[in-house]
Structure 1
Amino acid sequence: MIKKMMWILVSCLMVLSLILASCGTTETTGGAEEDEGDDKVIITETETGGTKTEEKEETPVSSNEPQYGGTLSVVLGGDIMGFDEGTTPDYWDVAGHLTHDELLEGDWAQGPAGTGKFTWATNDVYRWDSKSGALAESFEIIAPGDMIFHIRQGVNYGLNSNSEASRLVGGRQMTGDDVYWNIDRWLNIEGSQVARSARDMANAIVVTQLDDWTIQITVPTDQAIYLASYLVDWCSVIPPEIVSTYGNMNEWQNSVGTGPYFITDYVRSSAVTFERNPSYWQTDPVGPGMGNQLPYAENVKYLILADASTREAAVRTGQIDVYFGVTVDALENLTGTAKDLIIKQGIPAASSSIGMRTDKAELPFSKKEVRQALMMAIDYDTIIEEYYYGEAQLPSFPIVPEPELMDAYLSLGEAPEIVKELFSYNPEKAKQLLSASGYPGGFKTSIICTNPMVDYLSIIKDMWAQIGVELEIVTEEIGAYNSRWASRNYDEMFYTLWPSSGTYVRMLALTGTGVGQNLSFINDPKVNETKSKMLEAFAAGDQAEVDSLFKNLMPYVLEQAWCVQSPIPYTYAVWWPWIKGYSGEYSPGICNEFRWAKYIWVDQKLKREMGY
């Protein structure tokens, strides 16, 4: 059986987001001892004793009625990168997801707790119909690219009497002037995600404060997607006086927001501790606690554990309540001793596949038939069954089969025969295509990757050798590799993580020259025309038209074989039964990791009865 390696986790280092994943195993069983001396969390496993045994009684049943109190503990695989979105991109400011609010956020009532339209299992749902009002009570599209936001009244900044910065703000009401000031800051401060990734929108946008509580934002129609993705459901509101007093909010002690929690402690590379904001403005929008003031949990704790085996030990012994990005291998390791864990299967938002220089006429990859031959020479069925243990899917490019994207996704069952043939192992047909393209004996090529990717690419190398294609695998250290990825600086082939599926409206996988996008150097008139139509439809709020345009283009895109696809493996979220009101959500909205924490509650009685 082909040995499975966790190469995909390392490739995800290129993605500008925190990875909460697991690899590695441990031979011990039993409980864990937690030492919180000096606030540093150290988790060790022991051979005897502990909080849990293998011969455990059936899980006790407890009430599903929401309750207040308790602590929710989650884990980060890396340290906090900053506390001010003006200087730190939002996806690195994961503490801010609990301490601050944005204008809009993912609609919890449309998630598993409500209608189930969205899973909130990834962080890249770029859809107007997925959003609900947060600091903007409501919004309206009055014309394509022209929107009005009605700012919520009666929202106060949290008042933490132990914080000098919070006392400075004094728990005052957030105002429309604050929102206008923050928008201006997002657009102009050099470190913000808007300034980094949506410069054209920032330069073209017109922001007008119509009255004390109403703001109008107008952008060109082809930039409206950036308004949705980088402005209103990404950037959070802070009190201007914090910046005028301290210069920025880089230090956690200066963190003041309208969010459901305060930061009360941060120990670098160890833990972040949050305390409930008793004056939070939001109520539970759905379910048995509908109308209750949020949040429910008294405290939230981010444990920062870089070592995978330590993270798994913490999960198994109940020190971590919720854990994401679990691979099949790690899942078996976790549930072998922690049999009460609740498991939910999901699919990552992005896949790793082979990009190539299709723009160089002198290279074989400039010919469609050669690219098709490379795909036909891969035995995808065997790879899925033996390398991924049957837990993977195709197609994985240019989008993956996320539930939120199924109206835009073209499955193999729906695809025309020519596309189905590309995923069917046919080395003889592949040889014929190479011969007809001027490569009767095959050719030599090279691919750049990192060490953890070699195992998978060695399989591809062996399969391509059967049709005369000699592949040289060139490994680089992660820094040099990421630089190549960002600048698209490679001569032939590059094995990489492609843009997140949620970016499909912008077609980052198929167009453009920006950081980490269009990794096969595609410049196709049909694709470009469809992209323009999709952006216009998005600006008008017509999601059905956006999805229809994209899906109708997919037979053509997949036939071109611009990317030699790899199957995308499933991952899993796991959590303990005492976490209630939860269904595996990861990010309600765009890069809103852990924002779901305000909606869930900890069944403390059940946790005690289970021995934790």
Structure 2
Amino acid sequence: MLYKHKSGFIKLLSLVTAVSLLFSITACSKSDNETTKPSAAPSKTQQPSGSASTEADAASSPEQEAPQYGGIFTIGLASEQRGFDSALFNYGATNHLKQTSNTLIEGDWTKGPSGEHLTDFDTSTAPLAVSFGALAESWEFIGEDTIVFHIRPNVHFGLNPNSEASRLVNGRELTAEDVAFSFRRQFNLEPSAPTPKAYAYTRLTQDEFPTSIEVTDKYTVTVRGKPGFIGSLFYWLTEMTGIYAPEVVAKYGDLNNVLNDVGTGPFYVTEYVQNSSITFARNSNYWQKDPLGAGKGNQLPYLDGVRYLVLPDLSTRLSAFRTGQLDYIRDVSLDDFKQLIAENPDLKYSKTVGTGGGLTLRTDKPDQPWYDVRVRQAIQLGTDRQAIINDYYGGEASLINFPVSDTQTFRSLGAYVGYDDLPANVQELFNYNPEKAKQLLKEAGYPDGFEINVVLNASQIDLASVLKSQLEKIGIVLNLEVKEDAVYTSISSGRTFEEGIFGGGSGATPQAFHNFRPDDAGNTAMIDDPIVNKLIADFADKFMIADDESWPLIGEATPYILEQSWYLTLPAPYTFQLWWPWVKNYNGEYSLGGGHFYNFTHYIWIDQELKKSLGY
């Protein structure tokens, strides 16, 4: 069988219409012996970008303004990067690569809010239907085990004259040899550059590794893998693999010194101050043109540069944004959002679903109470999610955000299933019913409840305390063991906690099944379930090859996953992204691809006169 894809051929999605107003969820007060049914979640999780002043501002089309070149776009990061080499670290965590590099496939700007608005690009996943061929101009699936990539010609590595590594590459053209080298190194298959600690080992099974990688001509790479796993291999190669110049790796060994980074992206690194900042300058030889609007056909990027400032303290980030030192800030809480808008009604903003957190218990130890599904379901019933939505999040939260995030994209693909579409027995688990919870605990042999030792970090204390108070009403006591962030992360990634950990259960990248693969570090519940394992295999067989068939498989499995109650996921708060009005051609996009955070910068531009007129 032959599947062929060219970057100009994209299936359009039938998507829900954007909601234009903020919504609120009505509180419903019940006594402990009554059942509280949560309000139904809204069908849309992000309102269109706009300003606080008028809806007309929100409806204006920034792409009608003639773009201007120049200016620096400054972003505040909450933490320093854990690493800089995407063969050794998660591509999503190597933030600098979103400015300096390209992957084979990326989110299609013309499909997002600044174009057709078929997706919001507000999650870390961009399905193939809203993506385009970046470094891969086209690709083919041949039979059940072969992918052929046709590399885009006339793409050159950026040349920074002040960088020894960049001068080594000297702005030469990207070829299939570079892509094949990067592929092999990603899986520790490159003899000249071994990567025994390749990140792929922590996320993929050997079945998902390539069996061969071959260059067939200057612009063609042929990859073979195991039948049934080609889709997940394709995803890893096209969206999670940074493309590097072999001569740079040969000279420096790895890419963990960011100043040695040399890529094909719209910018290159000019300065790095550890735990402080990364500064990027415009790559004047970038290959991409503006695909739409008044600037269609213009050479990208418009900006002179981008700057990342590492600002771990939220109050410092907010202050930097208020004073114009940051052009953009994301993951802003409802309270901070209201205050910022009150101070400056002309700010632009968008809204998206965030991460709700929750409680994860090990399910691999038969001697622990929660090995019994009735106990896990009792914990669900003893959790008053509606109270958390109303009282903790001020009505601004999504009830169900797992195993798939409540986003426009996932709803349109048939992957997300909300409360109203769940069977009655699963809906019941999200209705607060402490009496039913006590009954299940009694049936399971725990009429007096029990204690759970729960590991967490300082940022989770408030929400965990709310849950602790609720569960005490059904006889379950959470002993909260607060750890420093680094220790908590180590315990979580190593899955070394004894009983429970606060966190886990993310729906941001459901196609990766990190929370369910038996050997995955993200599977903190220690799940090894035959039904879910079959789902993973069935999905991998179709993923990225037949998207319209693969994504609904997750939606169909959602009731079963939620019924098992492996993860006690709590409501996910809506967070806000704000930017100053001088940032143009921007409408809240976040990740144009799988974990491609902040890779929208080459499309936007700065109205420098407006910025000056506002006193910045």
**404, 423, 431: which one pairs with 2:430?**
423
Q: Report how far residue 416 of structure 1 moved.
A: 1.3
- CA 1:157–1:444 in structure 2 vs 1: closer, same or farther (change >3 Å)? closer
**443, 452, 457: which one pairs with 1:450?**
457
Q: Report how far residue 291 of structure 1 moved.
A: 1.5
Residue-by-residue CA offset, 1:306-351 (whole Å, 9 max, x unaligned) = 3322211111121111111112233234333233211110113x54
2-side partners of 1:512 and 1:222: how far apart? 18
SS in 1 for 2:601: helix
- CA 1:459–1:254 in structure 2 vs 1: closer, same or farther (change >3 Å)? closer
Alignment-mate amino acid for residue 216 of structure 1? T
CA contact (8 A) 1:89 1:191 kept: no
**573, 590, 594: which one pairs with 1:590?**
594
1:135 matched to which residue of 2? Answer: 135
1-side partners of 2:61 and 2:440: how far apart? 62
1:478 matched to which residue of 2? Answer: 485
CA contact (8 A) 1:398 1:510 kept: no
Alignment-mate amino acid for residue 68 of structure 2? Q
The 5-angstrom pairing of residues 481-500 of structure 1 reads: 481-500=488-507
CA contact (8 A) 2:378 2:436 kept: yes
2-side partners of 1:333 and 1:351: how far apart? 22
TM-score by length of 1: 0.84
The 5-angstrom pairing of residues 392-403 of structure 1 reads: 392-403=397-408
- CA 1:564–1:262 in structure 2 vs 1: closer, same or farther (change >3 Å)? closer
1:384 matched to which residue of 2? Answer: 389
2:575 matched to which residue of 1? Answer: 571
Alignment-mate amino acid for residue 555 of structure 2? K
- CA 1:253–1:391 in structure 2 vs 1: closer, same or farther (change >3 Å)? same
Q: Report how far residue 192 of structure 1 moved.
A: 4.2
1:184 matched to which residue of 2? Answer: 184
CA contact (8 A) 1:186 1:195 kept: no
CA contact (8 A) 2:255 2:261 kept: yes
2-side partners of 1:201 and 1:529: how far apart? 14
1-side partners of 2:401 and 2:308: how far apart? 32
1:512 matched to which residue of 2? Answer: 518
- CA 1:506–1:90 in structure 2 vs 1: closer, same or farther (change >3 Å)? closer
1:610 matched to which residue of 2? Answer: 614
The 5-angstrom pairing of residues 182-261 of structure 1 reads: 182-188=182-188, 189-198=195-204, 200=206, 203-261=209-267
Structure 1, 202-211 or 109-118: larger mean CA deviation: 202-211
TM-score by length of 2: 0.83
CA contact (8 A) 2:360 2:504 kept: no
- CA 1:246–1:379 in structure 2 vs 1: closer, same or farther (change >3 Å)? closer
Structure 1, 473-482 or 179-188: larger mean CA deviation: 473-482
RMSD: 2.7
**316, 319, 322: which one pairs with 1:316?**
322
1:465 pairs with 2:469: no
2-side partners of 1:415 and 1:61: how far apart? 38
Alignment-mate amino acid for residue 117 of structure 2? G
Q: Report how far residue 260 of structure 1 moved.
A: 1.0
SS in 2 for 1:69: coil
Residue-by-residue CA offset, 1:498-546 (whole Å, 9 max, x unaligned) = 34531x23433234132121x223333322222222221216x112222
Structure 1, 383-392 or 163-172: larger mean CA deviation: 163-172
Residue-by-residue CA offset, 1:455-502 (whole Å, 9 max, x unaligned) = 222222222222233333333333333233123233332222334531
Residue-by-residue CA offset, 1:66-99 (whole Å, 9 max, x unaligned) = 1211221111222344444345543343222212
Structure 1, 98-107 or 79-88: larger mean CA deviation: 79-88
2-side partners of 1:75 and 1:565: how far apart? 28
Q: Report how far residue 208 of structure 1 moved.
A: 1.8
CA contact (8 A) 2:102 2:134 kept: yes
1-side partners of 2:534 and 2:84: how far apart? 40
Structure 1, 382-391 or 265-274: larger mean CA deviation: 265-274
2:99 matched to which residue of 1? Answer: 98
Q: Report how far residue 206 of structure 1 moved.
A: 1.6
**551, 555, 558: which one pairs with 1:554?**
558
Q: Report how far residue 603 of structure 1 moved.
A: 1.2
Q: Report how far residue 203 of structure 1 moved.
A: 4.9
CA contact (8 A) 2:516 2:522 kept: no
Q: Report how far residue 153 of structure 1 moved.
A: 0.9
2-side partners of 1:169 and 1:499: how far apart? 40
Residue-by-residue CA offset, 1:2-54 (whole Å, 9 max, x unaligned) = 9xxxxxxxxxxxxxxxxxxxxxxxxxxxxxxxxxxxxxxxxxxxxxxxxxxxx
1-side partners of 2:615 and 2:417: how far apart? 47
Alignment-mate amino acid for residue 72 of structure 1? F
2-side partners of 1:110 and 1:120: how far apart? 9
1:436 pairs with 2:472: no
**289, 294, 302: which one pairs with 2:300?**
294
CA contact (8 A) 2:232 2:540 kept: no
2-side partners of 1:69 and 1:344: how far apart? 25
- CA 1:369–1:141 in structure 2 vs 1: closer, same or farther (change >3 Å)? same
- CA 1:227–1:306 in structure 2 vs 1: closer, same or farther (change >3 Å)? same
1:146 matched to which residue of 2? Answer: 146
- CA 1:603–1:542 in structure 2 vs 1: closer, same or farther (change >3 Å)? same
Percent identical residues = 36
Unaligned runs of 5+ in 1: 3-57
